[in-house]
């Protein structure tokens, strides 16, 4: 049964096998090509159709009351989406891999392939919950770990940190916590953008213990089960949100009415645990952004290879060649930088507060890459719509959905303004940029040409920031995020091309650097040889 192939040009493809650039990047970081072919086949068939079907027809719905008149606040979900989640967690082990003999590159490579941000969000918030339980949980909560990683049934997680009155300003949180008879009680009704609401069996929740200091440092982290030990309903869902995309994950407003909870870690270290947990989500956000871009580019390549206009295939027109290369260049730049940040996180994730320089360096890279990939994903998916013309704007085909999905990536897990400010914090207080400099110095040994020039420009970017006053450096910070991203990515592409013996990536890195950093017009840099490199 191949009904869905009439709506898309890439259904039935093995999305891992078809993504040569992604496989090259994984090979560069791991020394081998990971075996993700079975997952690639699955996401190119079952998952690709399921995600589109849920978006169009079968969004999750809130069930407030059971047939017996009991308050349940549970989510009805399409059977196909439910099965996809079961498959990803149990059959493919996309969460378990990071805790059971694999590493974070393996996990995030799976997130890249999944791409659909809603389904990937369900996986990510469950992984975030597993992470906090695994790393900081006591025996009261460690009992949930097997379910969260899919070894003993499936328990789904959630992360409810922000509140309506503060958003990214966690210090404005008003949810309160106190103890009664040795049990923690949480109370508050401001968890306004709560992903996995009603779906989560367990949720990580930020709350302020009574008597704690004001601001973010007064927060603690708790684990709230949907059902308490006596099977009573322990959190309530006021309603679900209507969204332009990410339909497959239910996002709602959650009320905590004397909800019972388990404390995670130390009472006075909650904000550290929360920010650490957010790093997982920000790396997932970056993978979602480049994964979305990859799907949009794959659709565009396939369409241009068969669509005829003005007497020849679209792919034979110079302007189309220019657009496809530009999309590919930005996609590979974002992907190689994303996995650089993941590898750094993988080396430091067992650190605990107050953390080592290696961890702070991972934070710095994460702030850069989260913003960098989100900006370019929005552009790449818009270009894919344009390449498809009117077809790209029709909701019956998946092209426009990729653009809608991409538009959440600059917002989720902190806007560009937040990451710009956090970047400055890692530089001013943690001196993480010094570790960036030493890392790049080591990487470029023996390199020449634009790679060394890109490194020199990174020094110029950082020196410029150091000369600015407090107001001006904040205004400059968003530009710095993108400029650092472009320059570091160009270096990584050049080094990867040299190590793998693939000159096409060296040339791509040079074009990226000269266009984005030196400001040269792209048409003066692009030529038919560059297009033949990749297509």
Question: Cα(85)–Cα(90) distance, rounded to whole angstroms?
Answer: 8
Tell me, yes or no, whether 354 and 252 share the same domain: no
Q: Are residues 342 and 233 in the same domain?
A: no
85 with 212, same domain: the answer is: no
Same domain, 32 and 133: yes
Structural domains of the chain, count: 3
Question: Please, what are the averages of pLDDT over each run of 10 residues along the chain (535 residues)?
Answer: 89 98 98 95 97 96 97 97 98 97 95 96 98 97 98 98 92 96 96 97 98 96 97 98 96 98 97 98 98 98 97 98 98 98 98 97 98 98 98 96 98 96 97 98 94 98 97 98 98 98 98 98 97 94
The CATH number linked to 401 is 1.20.140.10
> Which range of residues forms the domain containing residue 115?
3-60+75-137+144-148
Q: How far apart are CA 147 and CA 237, in angstroms?
A: 23
* 284 and 342 co-located in one domain: yes
Dump strand ranges (E) for 421-479.
Answer: none
Instruction: Tell me if 70 is assigned to some domain.
Output: no
Cα–Cα distance between 13 and 298 in angstroms, integer? 10
Contact 500, 523 (CB under 8 A): no
Last residue of a domain, one of 269, 284, 304: 269
The reply to whether 364 and 439 lie within a common domain is yes
Residue 86 resides in a domain: yes
| Domain membership flag for residue 387 | yes
Helix (H, G, I), strand (E, B) or coil at 525: helix
Task: Identify any residues that bridge with 313 across adjacent strands, giving them in sequence order.
Answer: 308
Is residue 404 domain-shared with residue 350, that is, in the same domain? yes
Assess whether 329 and 234 both reside in one domain: no
Is residue 316 domain-shared with residue 244, that is, in the same domain? Answer: no
Task: Tell me the torsion sign for CA atoms 222, 225, 228, 234.
Answer: positive
Spatial contact of 111 and 291, defined as CB atoms under 8 Å apart: yes
Domain co-membership, 55 together with 203: no
The pLDDT score that the predictor gives to residue 2 is 79
Residue 27: inside a domain, yes or no? yes
CA distance 415 to 474: 14
| Same domain membership, residue 283 and residue 221 | no
Confidence at residue 3, expressed as pLDDT on a 0 to 100 scale: 84
| Residue 247 backbone dihedrals phi, psi, to 5 degrees | -65, -30
Domain boundary among the residues 224, 249, 269 is at 269
Q: Is residue 342 part of a domain?
A: yes
Same domain, 179 and 324: no
Boundary residue ending a domain (269, 285, 317): 269
| Backbone dihedral region for residue 322 (phi beyond 0: left; psi -120 to 50: alpha; all else: beta) | alpha
Report how far residue 264's alpha carbon sits from residue 129's, in angstroms, rounded to the nearest whole number: 11
């Amino acid at each position: 049964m191949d009904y869905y192939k009439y709506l898309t040009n890439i259904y039935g493809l093995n999305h891992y096998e078809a993504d040569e650039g992604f496989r090259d990047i994984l090979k560069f970081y791991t020394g081998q090509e990971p075996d993700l072919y079975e997952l690639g086949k699955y996401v190119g068939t079952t998952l690709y159709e399921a995600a589109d079907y849920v978006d169009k027809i079968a969004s999750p719905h809130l069930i407030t009351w059971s047939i017996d008149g009991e308050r349940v606040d549970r989510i009805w979900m399409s059977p196909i989406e439910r099965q996809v989640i079961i498959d990803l967690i149990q059959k493919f082990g996309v969460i378990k891999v990071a805790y059971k003999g694999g590493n974070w590159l393996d996990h995030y490579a799976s997130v890249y392939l999944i791409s659909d941000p809603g389904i990937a969000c369900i996986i990510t918030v469950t992984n975030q919950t597993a992470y906090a339980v695994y790393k900081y949980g006591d025996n009261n909560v460690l009992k949930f770990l097997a379910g969260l990683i899919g070894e003993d049934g499936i328990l789904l997680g959630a992360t409810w940190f922000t509140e309506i009155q503060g958003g990214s300003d966690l210090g404005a949180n008003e949810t309160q916590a106190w103890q009664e008879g040795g049990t923690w009680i949480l109370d508050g009704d401001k968890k306004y953008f709560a992903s996995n609401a009603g779906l989560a069996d367990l949720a990580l929740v930020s709350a302020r213990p009574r008597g704690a200091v004001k601001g973010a440092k007064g927060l603690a982290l708790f684990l709230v089960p949907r059902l308490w030990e006596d099977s009573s309903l322990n959190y309530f869902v006021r309603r679900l949100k209507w969204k332009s995309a990410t339909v497959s994950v239910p996002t709602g407003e959650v009320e905590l009415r004397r909800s019972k909870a388990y404390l995670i870690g130390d009472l006075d270290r909650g904000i550290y645990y929360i920010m650490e947990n957010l790093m997982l989500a920000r790396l997932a956000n970056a993978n979602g952004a480049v994964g979305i871009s990859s799907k949009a580019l794959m659709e565009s390549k396939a369409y241009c290879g068969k669509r005829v206009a003005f007497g020849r295939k679209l792919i034979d027109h110079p302007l189309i060649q220019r657009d496809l290369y530009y999309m590919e260049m930005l996609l590979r730049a974002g992907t190689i930088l994303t996995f650089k940040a993941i590898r750094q996180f993988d080396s430091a994730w067992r650190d605990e507060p107050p953390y080592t320089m290696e961890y702070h360096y991972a934070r710095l890279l994460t702030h850069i890459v989260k913003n960098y990939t989100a900006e370019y994903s929005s552009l790449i998916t818009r270009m894919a719509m344009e390449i498809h013309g009117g077809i790209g704007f029709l909701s019956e085909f998946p092209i426009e959905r990729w653009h809608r999905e991409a538009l959440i990536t600059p917002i989720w897990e902190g806007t560009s303004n937040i990451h710009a400010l956090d970047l400055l914090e890692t530089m001013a207080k943690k001196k993480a940029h010094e570790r960036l400099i030493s890392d790049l110095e080591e990487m470029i040994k023996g390199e020449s040409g634009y790679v060394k020039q890109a490194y020199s420009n990174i020094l110029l970017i950082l020196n410029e920031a150091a000369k600015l006053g407090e107001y001006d450096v904040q205004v400059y910070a968003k530009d710095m995020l993108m400029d650092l991203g472009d320059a570091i990515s160009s270096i990584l592409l050049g080094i990867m091309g040299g190590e793998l013996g693939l000159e096409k990536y060296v040339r791509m890195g040079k074009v990226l650097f000269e266009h984005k950093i030196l400001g040269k017009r792209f048409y003066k840099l692009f030529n038919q040889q560059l297009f033949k490199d990749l297509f």
